A and B are shown apart, each in its own frame.
Chain A
Amino acid sequence: AQTVTQSQPEMSVQEAETVTLSCTYDTSESNYYLFWYKQPPSRQMILVIRQEAYKQQNATENRFSVNFQKAAKSFSLKISDSQLGDTAMYFCAFMKPPTELTFGKGTLLTVNP
């Protein structure tokens, strides 16, 4: 079975600054996908970014980027130019194809004005 660990229960950052959320995972699979989801107070899980394990290039989506270290089984999320709307719970998730999705416990990010 896969496990996903998010070691930071809470983090805060000043508006316009950069913050990095940590995630590590444990698996014996060689083919898998990694995700970061955002869950605002509305409770809806919103996909932020996705990384295929077979790709060495780190995924980026506008202000969001990841640092994927496959050997270390690490998948951190960097948010640049933080905005107040980024305040939310962030979940790291591991997917064993085709759809077995395992979530971490989440990191509560607060962006301060």
Chain B
Amino acid sequence: EAGVAQSPRYKIIEKRQSVAFWCNPISGHATLYWYQQILGQGPKLLIQFQNNGVVDDSQLPKDRFSAERLKGVDSTLKIQPAKLEDSAVYLCASSLVTGSKNPMFFGSGTQLSVL
């Protein structure tokens, strides 16, 4: 089965610019997650969707970050305007349904560099 697809793989922008990342989860997976992984740290959850509804966005900096999952399939994460501290790898993950018995599958991430 195909894995979680993410694009682009790399992105370099200047501060105050905007950027968008795209994620296509595994077919049939209802739950989708966006994680931010800063260099030298483990991933941190930004937002979780169940189908096209938001389950948890408590750690999403809503003044600059936004995410949507139209039609409950693909998802886009946007940063506007970007700051230097947003430099990180942005990982998308999906699982069949919400629940710890269902394994979470990760994509290869988008590495963002903000100059």
A interface list, Cβ under 8 A from B: 4, 33, 42-47, 50, 91, 93, 95, 97-106
* A-B contacts at CB below 8 angstroms, number: 56
Whether A47 touches B109, Cβ cut-off 8 Å, given contacts A4-B42, A99-B31, A103-B44, is no
Are B42 and A91 closer than 8 Å at their CB atoms? yes
A91 partner residues in chain B, CB cutoff 8 A? 42-43
B44 partner residues in chain A, CB cutoff 8 A? 103
Pick 14 A–B contacts, CB within 8 A, sort by A: A43-B108, A44-B3, A44-B108, A44-B109, A46-B106, A47-B104, A91-B42, A95-B100, A98-B98, A99-B31, A99-B104, A103-B43, A105-B41, A106-B41
- Number of contacting residues on B, CB 8 A? 26
Residue ID in chain B nearest A101 by CB atoms: B45
Residue ID in chain A nearest B97 by CB atoms: A98
A44 partner residues in chain B, CB cutoff 8 A? 3, 106-109
Interface string of B43-56 (1 = CB under 8 A from A): 11100100000011
- Per the bound structure, the CA–CA distance linking A98 and B56 in Å amounts to 12
B45 partner residues in chain A, CB cutoff 8 A? 100-101
Whether A99 touches B42, Cβ cut-off 8 Å, given contacts A43-B89, A44-B107, A47-B103, is no
| Interchain residue pairs A-B with the least CB separation, the first 3 | A103-B42, A45-B106, A43-B109
